[in-house]
Structure 1
Amino acid sequence: MSGAPPLRRCGDPMHLDTFLLSLLLMLLLAKILAQLCWHLGLPAVVGELSAGLVLGPSLLGWVQPHLQLQNLAELGVVTLMFVIGCETSIKRLMHSGPRVLTVALSGVLVPAMVIPPMVHWLLPAPPLEALFFGVALTATSIGIAMRVLRLNHQDRGVMGHTILGAAIIDDVLGVLLLGLMFSLSNGDLEPTRLFLQLVTIVLFLMLAPVATRVLIYLLKPLAKRDLLPGFHASTVLLLICLFGWLAYLCGTPPLLGGFAAGLGVSRHFTSPWSKWLVNPFSFTRQLEHASGPLNDVLAPLFFSYVGLSIDLSQHALTPAFLVVALALTTAAVLAKLQCGLWIAASWRQKMMLGSAMVPRGEVGLVFAEMGRQVNLLGAEGFTLLVLVITLTTIVGPVMLKWACSPPVAQGQGGGSPD
């Protein structure tokens, strides 16, 4: 839920020299560790997350979470989702409908039912706090899963579209469940408000790609003129910022705004009136090409910031506490892995789908912080939830990379994480 408050950020302004040095360290270490992980057969995302953990308060403490860095990181995940949208076929996404819905519902219902009793018994925790654990661990990090798939050239096929659709529905349901938890904590349950929020999100995801396409038709004539360099890159950034902002206004995570804008740019775009319109293929292809360098720089910053947001140094990690954390992490992983059992596919494809749903990432971290802010989580519960989210964020991409490995070995993927 990228529009929500970050896990940690400093309220004081960051001076320019500190900002530049922080960016230097984050980019440099993220690229080094991503390349190292790639050569070791691990996902590049693990290296980028590790860069944040090393530089941040968990270990060295050289870079502190700040609002300026957080905003730049958020732009990174919106850009990543724009690129993913550009490569997504709406027709394939719609044809995957029943399968996507089944996977998404199982990915929400199973963690929500399995995790709370375990937390209530192991921690132990009050019923409402235990229930919040279940809600927080229904989350799926779209950005992390899709980056691993994209780096392994698995994001454009049927499985890629199924994973993407299920993760989006997961996030939408997560927003609604979070609203339900807040209402329960206040003793003020408003079904009408939750229903209106769902309708708003669905309408936005339906209309935003069409609005993007209309803007492209309006901007296309300008591309034929003798314009200054950078027109296409500027247009991409304009679309990302515009629809990210509109998504935020609609109560939708800005990353879904970037994805919706990317769908409108996609060469696979389709709508009821497409047959009467000339496809601006060359222009959309230029926009897609221009988004690549932006994504290559900004996406690693986002994943590095996710690691930066985690502060494990403040938590007393006793042996008993770690045993509970490992038990809950195992349950959290299995609760998502079972998603793959609901589709008719090979075992490796089932593993690919299930492991793609495992990492909670920035979505889970934001859920945890919001639970702490409204006193749904105590200090021990917050520490435990952050640790479980961190472990799933590292384990998930490793499992997904393994599940994607056969196509890479046969020459269908691989290469550099850049």
Structure 2
Amino acid sequence: MMLTHWSGDLFTPLSSLTLATTAEQASSSMIFTSVLLSLVIVYLASKLGGELSKRVDLPPVLGELVGGVIVGVSALHLLVFPESGATATDSYLMSFLQWLGHLSPEATHSLFESQSEVLSVLAELGVTILLFEIGLESDLRELSKVGYQAAIVAVVGVAVPFAAGTVGLMLLFNVPAIPAIFAGAALTATSIGITSKVLSELGRLKSKEGQIIVGAAVIDDVLGIIVLAVVASLAKTGEVDVLNVVYLIISATVFLLGAIFLGKFFNTSFVAIADKLQTRGQLVIPAFTFAFLMAFLANAIQLEAILGAFAAGLVLDETDKRKELDQQVIPIADILVPIFFVSVGAKADLGVLNPAIPENREGLIIAAFLIVVAIIGKVVTGWAVFGQPQINRLAIGVGMIPRGEVGLVFAGIGSASGVLSKPLEAAIIMMVILTTFLAPPCLRLAFKGSEEPTESLDSLNPLQEKEPAEINS
């Protein structure tokens, strides 16, 4: 029924319809068409960008982001969004659809808003699934092995760049408090995937430095998600209320820890339910049901949905079916997560960093400032490790530098909330790109010439009893 009506709108001569009826029907019936074409552009950009990035030994997520920049408002103008200040006339995709469907300007504008809203919802769903997947990959049992050294590195790696970035933006550039806090929060992220890949290639994943970096990055993710939940909620109110900040920090922490604690009792029930189901999706559907329920509960107490999804991932990672669940979540994430990354890139107007335009120069200076803080704020974490005179502190600090997909999550949430100005948003994107590009070669240089360590992290934590059963598990 819908297809017949849709086909008629596309190919029936307009002489048989009034202008008002055509505008109304075309704007509603062509939404699906516009979304399909948008997804074609999204997937082409993400896959081509990811493949090219992979071939030059860089994280594919960087390629997806750059692909979004190319098809977005900064270059080809195929995907543009109203929140970035664009209109239907700025989109070549909308111009094509207007010609294809013989749409009036009013119908084209309505189509543009509807298409953008659908893509934004899909992008939000993608980032929710991304955080669920990150939670599934964050092994809580490994956190108990990395010891206090990794925890100290993580705390320093969150506190130093957050404080330096926020205060610096407010004092040096007169950025309002909420955007400054959001940008400072974006500096706290660490991409565990990028660093782990490089450490594995170098044969250093099980070294003292490698395990401290990975452990600190996992803790960084937990702290970063709490920070993100707090600052995103602050963005909704538009002001810094100390009592509200305290409430958000406490509620986010209690929610996350409470979910993990209760998960110990939930895991048995979850496995029992999954074993009794006989139809397709007997494992992944209950898992996503739980993840979306947790996301809803987080939203209900004024936190971000992504915190609930992350907590759900941490809980289900403790089940006996975690490996099977990981494999089933990956293809779903492969479909939805690229929409988020490409959308982030498409919304970023890098034209505001063009130095030829005088009013853009402040954005370039802000980007340079964020990049310096992002690098120094993480490098200093290596000197937070104490009692290990022979350890490679520079390698630990450099290993914490890449922001990767986690930094993009911050940028995307900030962009969706409307709290970031165009120069500040573009500066954050540039910071994420540069730190992610620099980290792999710099980590290789930091380890170059040093001896291959034979000690594992177990020797770092004198409080841990190394029982064979625990080690083998």
- For Structure 1 versus Structure 2, the TM-score category normalised by the shorter chain is 0.7 to 0.9
Residue 45 of structure 2 aligns to which amino acid in structure 1? L
Is residue 220 of structure 1 aligned with residue 236 of structure 2? no
- Return 5+ residue gaps in structure 1 as ranges: 1-11, 121-128, 270-279, 411-418
2:183 aligned with 1:137? yes
Distance 1:250 1:316, change over 3 A: same
Q: Is the 8 A contact 1:223 1:231 kept in 2?
A: yes
Aligned residues of 2:42 and 2:339 also touching (Cα < 8 A): yes
1:164 maps to which residue?
218
Q: 2:257 aligns with which of 206, 231, 236?
A: 206
Question: Are positions 1:17 and 2:33 aligned together?
Answer: yes
Higher helix share: 2
Change (3 A) 1:194 1:222: closer
Quote how far apart the aligned CAs of 1:264 are: 1.0
CA pair 134-225 structure 1, distance change in 2 beyond 3 A = closer
Counterpart residue type for residue 399 of structure 2: M
2:173 to 92, 114, 119: 119
Q: Which moved more, 1:228-237 or 1:214-223?
A: 214-223
SS in 1 for 2:163: helix
Q: How far off its partner does 1:76 sit?
A: 1.9
The residue that corresponds to 2:425 in the other structure is 386
Q: Secondary structure at the match of 1:196?
A: helix
**How far apart, in 1, do the equivalents of 2:277 and 2:236 lie?**
54
Q: Please list the CA deviations of residues 23-67 of structure 1 after superposition, one character each: whole Å capped at 9, or x if unmatched.
A: 122112201110111102222112101221222232222223422
Identity of aligned residues (%): 18
Following the alignment from structure 1 to structure 2, what is the Cα–Cα distance between the partners of residues 131 and 225? 52
CA shift for structure 1 position 137: 1.8
CA distance, structure 2, for counterparts of residue 367 and residue 303 of structure 1: 13
User: How far does residue 252 in structure 1 lie from its aligned partner after superposition?
Assistant: 2.5
Q: CA deviation at 1:353?
A: 0.5
Give the TM-score normalised by structure 1. 0.75
| Higher relative contact order (Cα pairs below 8 Å, separated by 6+ residues) | 1
Q: What does residue 345 of structure 2 align with?
A: 307
Q: 1:174 to 1:20 in 2, by over 3 A?
A: closer
Distance 1:226 1:312, change over 3 A: closer
Residue 293 (structure 1) shift: 1.6
Q: For residue 407 of structure 1, report the CA deviation from its aligned partner.
A: 12
1:331 maps onto 2:347 in alignment: no
2: CA distance, partners of 1:222 / 1:167: 30
Q: Paired residues, what number?
A: 367
Q: List per-residue Cα deviations over 1:49-105 (Å, max 9, x = no partner).
A: 122122223222222342221222222222222222222232443633333222211
Distance 1:387 1:226, change over 3 A: closer
Shift in Å at residue 201 of structure 1? 0.6
Q: Check conservation: 1:45, 1:148, Cα contact below 8 A.
A: no
**Matches for 1:14-413 after TM superposition, within 5 Å:** 15-65=31-81, 66-93=116-143, 95=147, 96-120=150-174, 129-140=175-186, 145-149=191-195, 157-173=211-227, 176=230, 190-225=241-276, 227-266=278-317, 269=318, 280-281=319-320, 283-312=321-350, 318-337=356-375, 338-343=377-382, 344=385, 346=392, 347-356=394-403, 360-364=407-411, 366-367=413-414, 370=417, 372=419, 382-403=421-442
Aligned-residue RMSD, C-alpha: 3.6
Residues 349-376 of structure 1, C-alpha deviations (whole Å, 9 max, x = no match): 311213338974342454366465xxxx
Alpha-carbon contact 1:105-1:170 (below 8 Å) kept:
no
- How far apart, in 1, do the equivalents of 2:159 and 2:374 lie? 11
152-161 or 239-248: bigger deviation: 152-161
Structure 2 unaligned blocks of 5 or more: 1-26, 82-115, 386-390, 453-473
Distance in 2, Cα, partners of 1:314 & 1:328: 12
Shift of 1:348: 2.6
Structure number with greater Rg is 2
